[in-house]
Amino acid sequence: MRHKGVNYAKYGYIFCIPFILAFLFFSFYPIVYTTVIGFTDLKGMGRTDFTFLENPFQNFITILNNGSFRQSLKNTIIIWITNFIPQILLALLLTAWFTNNRHKIKGQGLFKVLFYMPNIITAATIAILFYSLFGYPKGPINDLFITMGIIDEPVYFLINKATARGVVSFIQFWMWYGHTMIILISGVLGINPEIFEASDIDGANNIQTFFYVTLPNLRTILLYTLITSLIGGLNMYDIPKLFLLGGPDNATLTTSVFIYNQAFSGSYMYNRAAAASMIMFVIIAILSGIIFFIMRDKDVVQLKKQKRKLKKELKNAENMVRRAVE
């Protein structure tokens, strides 16, 4: 098999060249550059020249002691958790319902299309739309809630820290649960149908099938969803930036908005923004690493080990045969 005279391995390298070049030019170099800027005095609009600081970690210390940065980090985490947990639970529930062959929901196609829809709409538009919807004292949400008898008089949702954060969280949830659901459904449909038939024959009910067959087989897809959502969540920018401009009283200021404000407004402190970026980078790297480690497919790791062992044994056997023949 392997000794046919043509070496295909080189195509593996050739096909990866565009990716590697684009990565080096647009990702790797900017990362290195951002890191370097973090140690310098680069600030002021339109400036590109810099000198290194006497205390190289000065920017990092300043940022870590900055109240706004700490607040933004806290906000980001709160907003992510409060939208991701309901999001994944609802997505899983809908996935279980929509992939259940015994009790089909009519109009599934339409529901899927509708649930996914907010995700395709520009986040900037949605932020400003919700800002208008939550208008005070007259606004659609207030009018609606009063008509329905939920509240007696208009509430200024956007001036209260908790409700403002809650609304941002809700917008994120509302935009993303359909997306998560579609990814999960595609994952369930990718599971070998014979497994479901087998559990059916064994007499498993819907709930058992979901927890013992569907969920374990969804592990990779769940990992994918979790990681992308985490990274997206920690970089949340459009909604908090345009919804309430980070307010009230920094309650919806996320780290990305903080970084943007440092670098591209006021006194254009690229160096501090770069330091804050690097801190975020480290946090994201650690969190992703942990998730990856917890959720890695242990069977695959085991299989790989066995494969390597077998290959080694095969080689030994080949060598022995060759020696014997000689």
Any contact of residue 37 with another protein (CB under 8 A)? yes
Burial 260-274 (b: 16+ CB within 10 A, else e): ebbbeeeebbbbbbb
Q: Which of 227, 247, 250, 295 binds another protein (CB under 8 A)?
A: 227
**Least spacing, CB of residue 30 vs another protein, in Å:** 4
Q: Which of 224, 247, 248, 250 binds another protein (CB under 8 A)?
A: 224
Q: Which two tokens stand for residue 134?
A: 């939550």
Q: Which two tokens stand for residue 59?
A: 């920017």
Instruction: Please give the C-alpha separations between residue 10 and each of 14, 20, 288, in angstroms, as whole numbers.
Output: 6, 15, 32
- Please, which residues bridge with residue 40 across strands? 52
Q: Which of 125, 302, 306, 319 binds another protein (CB under 8 A)?
A: 125
For 151, the 3-state DSSP assignment is coil
**Least spacing, CB of residue 86 vs another protein, in Å:** 12
Any contact of residue 144 with another protein (CB under 8 A)? yes
Residue closer to another protein, measured from CB, 160 or 288 = 288
Q: What is the CA radius of gyration of the chain?
A: 26
Any contact of residue 295 with another protein (CB under 8 A)? no
**Least spacing, CB of residue 212 vs another protein, in Å:** 20
Any contact of residue 258 with another protein (CB under 8 A)? no
Q: Which of 285, 301, 314, 320 binds another protein (CB under 8 A)?
A: 285
ω before 140 within 30° of 0 (cis)? Answer: no
**Least spacing, CB of residue 153 vs another protein, in Å:** 15
Any contact of residue 133 with another protein (CB under 8 A)? yes
> Given phi > 0 = left and psi -120 to 50 = alpha, else beta, which region is 303?
alpha
Residue closer to another protein, measured from CB, 166 or 187 = 187
